[in-house]
């Protein structure tokens, strides 16, 4: 299954939600999995992004659906990157 990286920033509303309900992270991950995307790992990060999440999705359409659904809530913005294992890239050259 294709791998994607979601680079996420919380909005002010998202920060308030997280502070008031830290369990919301797991709730959102379960919602994402119900849309057909498997959360492989997730990191809270310092710097340009608040979270980096590694997911697997069946295709770009499914990943786009997740991005639109999460973005429409107003609690976060994200950038999604398709990821190819370095060994696969090297093998295709």
Give me the residues paired with residue 62 across strands.
none
Q: How far apart are CA 11 and CA 64, in angstroms?
A: 20
Please check whether residue 37 is in contact with residue 65, taking contact to mean a CB–CB distance below 8 angstroms: no
As a CATH number, domain 3-85 is 3.30.70.920
Q: Note the pTM of the prediction, 2 decimals.
A: 0.91
The helix or strand, by DSSP H or E, that contains position 33, with its residue range, turns out to be: helix 24-34
Locate the domains of the chain by residue range.
3-85
Handedness of CA 40, 33, 85, 65 (dihedral sign): negative
Per-residue pLDDT of the chain (93 residues; tens, 9 = 90+): 999 999 999 999 999 999 999 999 999 999 999 999 999 999 999 999 999 999 999 999 999 999 999 999 999 999 999 999 999 888 888
């Amino acid at each position: 299954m294709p791998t994607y990286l979601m680079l996420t920033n919380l909005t002010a509303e998202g920060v308030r939600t997280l502070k008031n309900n830290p369990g919301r992270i797991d709730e959102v991950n379960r919602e994402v999995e119900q849309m057909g995307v498997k959360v492989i790992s997730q990191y809270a990060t310092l710097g340009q992004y608040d979270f980096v999440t590694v997911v697997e999705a069946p295709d770009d359409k499914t990943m786009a659906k997740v991005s639109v659904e999460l973005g429409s809530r107003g609690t976060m913005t994200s950038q999604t990157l398709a990821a190819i294992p370095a060994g696969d890239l090297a093998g295709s050259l």
